[in-house]
């Protein structure tokens, strides 16, 4: 989707990063202002782009190609959303880039507007390089909450969008090659019982008691999984995990609770069955519900899966791995503990690697930053990619 180059405004990588950080794209807010800025910037250089909106139209992903539009190339994937800043002790405005002591501070500076800024700042150079293999840009939304912002765009690749030969997800790995991470599924469970005086529990059914039994079952599953560690030595911790993050129910000590809410998650190693824990939980829910309905026939237990992020499995020798090893000057891969959008690309049959500048240790923190050294290394990485795609 490349047009003839025009005369856009060239922005240095740090200037581009400052522009992107200035957009407050916390996940529960719209990212459309940032997307509009990127569209205008690309258009100023003669590069057309395709906006891929979400169902409600308040967010969008963006896809663009630099180089021959009739073939698959190397896709650079980055998410535009960031985590909240409320409740964090920032010493500076989180949405104003601040450079000090060899670091660039700002929300999203490392996770992951830094990667996006480098890709955008080098657009004029990509155009001038007369690429034989195209570079695709794919900027998504909602990675920090559901990882679903890439799904609609991926479904169009090979249909009305080019199908990439390889995908680089630019999450911060200090430019190490991550070829594996766990998958994650998150769930909300609502238990509805029947209120009664606590002195006569047989006249109702406590939703809190139901929630406790379900939570205890999840904890038992977590203990069981911990006792079955993975033997690869690549993951920390080396086993699937189950976690109950929120538990809320009841209004008074002497009233049987008529409602209880659980928020829980399962993180699975590549190769583990992501259906195992949910299926066992469903069976346990049925047992708990039957017990509650002995005294409260109207009792219900409903579970909704709020996100399903597939894991990334090693794919030794893939085009993505081979290419990024050359670009990053590495001869080994790592596994990371956090989940990314990479699993969605791999699930669609696209060779994928996670590799980007900066450290995940600085992400999601107050005074988030990327070091200027890592930012420069990221630029060098992009320029090596440009040389590869020049042919």
**Cα within 13 Å of Cα(93), Cβ side:** 9
The set of residues, in sequence order, having a beta carbon less than 8 Å from that of 48 and lying 6+ positions away, is 1, 2, 3, 42, 64
What does each C-alpha distance from 153 to 39, 125, 162, 341 come to in angstroms? 16, 26, 11, 12
Cα 206 to chain centroid distance, Å, stands at 37
* Residue 11, both tokens: 């922005």
Q: Terminus-to-terminus CA distance in the chain, angstroms?
A: 20
Residue 325: phi and psi, rounded to 5, are: -60, -40
Cis peptide before 332 (omega within 30 of 0): no
* Residue 97, both tokens: 């880039």
Identify whether the C-beta of residue 57 lies closer than 8 Å to the C-beta of residue 148.
Answer: no
Active site residue 81: yes
What is the residue whose two structure tokens read 């409903």?
A: 302
Task: Select from 1, 26, 15, 135 the least CA-distant residue to 79.
Answer: 26
Identify whether the C-beta of residue 125 lies closer than 8 Å to the C-beta of residue 10.
Answer: no
Identify whether the C-beta of residue 343 lies closer than 8 Å to the C-beta of residue 315.
Answer: no
Euclidean distance between CA atoms 165 and 73, whole angstroms: 5
Active site residue 143: yes
Catalytic residue, chosen from 39, 143, 179, 368, is 143
Catalytic residue, chosen from 81, 179, 321, 368, is 81
SS (H, E, C) 320-366: HHHHHHHHHCCCCEEEECCCCCHHHHHHCCCCEEECCCCCHHHCCCC
CA angle 271, 316, 234 (to 5 degrees): 55
Task: Select from 293, 294, 342 the least CA-distant residue to 183.
Answer: 342
Please list the active-site residues: 81, 143
């Amino acid at each position: 989707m490349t047009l003839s180059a025009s005369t856009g405004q060239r922005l240095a990588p740090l200037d581009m990063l400052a522009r992107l950080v200035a957009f407050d794209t916390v996940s529960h807010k719209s990212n459309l202002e940032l997307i509009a800025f990127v569209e205008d910037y690309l258009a100023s250089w003669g590069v057309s782009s395709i906006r891929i909106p979400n169902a409600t139209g308040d967010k969008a992903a963006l896809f663009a190609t630099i180089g021959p539009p009739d073939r698959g190339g190397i896709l650079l994937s980055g998410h535009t959303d960031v985590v909240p800043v409320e409740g964090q002790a920032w010493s500076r405005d989180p949405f104003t880039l601040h450079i000090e002591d060899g670091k660039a501070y700002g929300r999203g500076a490392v996770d992951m507007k830094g990667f996006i800024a480098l890709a955008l700042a080098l657009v004029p150079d990509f155009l001038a390089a007369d690429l034989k293999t195209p570079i695709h840009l794919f900027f998504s939304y909602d990675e920090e909450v559901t990882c679903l912002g890439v799904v609609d765009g991926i479904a169009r690749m090979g249909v009305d969008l080019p199908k990439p030969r390889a995908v680089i997800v630019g999450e911060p790995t200090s430019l190490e090659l991550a070829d594996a991470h766990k998958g994650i599924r998150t769930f909300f469970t609502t238990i509805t019982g029947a209120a009664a005086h606590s002195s006569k529990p047989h006249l109702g059914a406590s939703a809190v008691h139901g929630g406790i039994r379900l939570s205890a079952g999840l904890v038992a599953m977590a203990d069981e999984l911990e006792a079955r560690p993975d033997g690869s030595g690549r993951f920390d911790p080396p086993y699937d995990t189950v976690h109950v993050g929120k538990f809320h129910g009841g209004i008074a000590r002497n009233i049987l609770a008529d409602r209880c809410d659980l928020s829980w998650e399962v993180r699975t190693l590549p190769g583990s069955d992501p259906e195992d824990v949910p299926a066992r939980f469903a069976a346990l829910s049925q047992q708990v519900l039957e017990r509650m309905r002995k005294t409260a026939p109207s009792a219900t237990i409903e579970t909704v899966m709020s996100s399903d992020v597939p894991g990334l499995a090693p794919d030794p020798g893939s085009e993505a791995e081979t290419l990024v090893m050359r670009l990053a000057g590495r001869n080994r891969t790592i596994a990371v503990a956090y989940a990314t959008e990479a699993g969605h690309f791999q699930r669609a049959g696209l060779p994928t690697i996670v590799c980007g500048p900066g450290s995940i240790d600085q992400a999601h923190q107050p005074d988030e930053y990327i070091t200027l050294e890592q930012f420069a290394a990221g630029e060098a990485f992009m320029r090596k990619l440009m040389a590869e795609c020049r042919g």
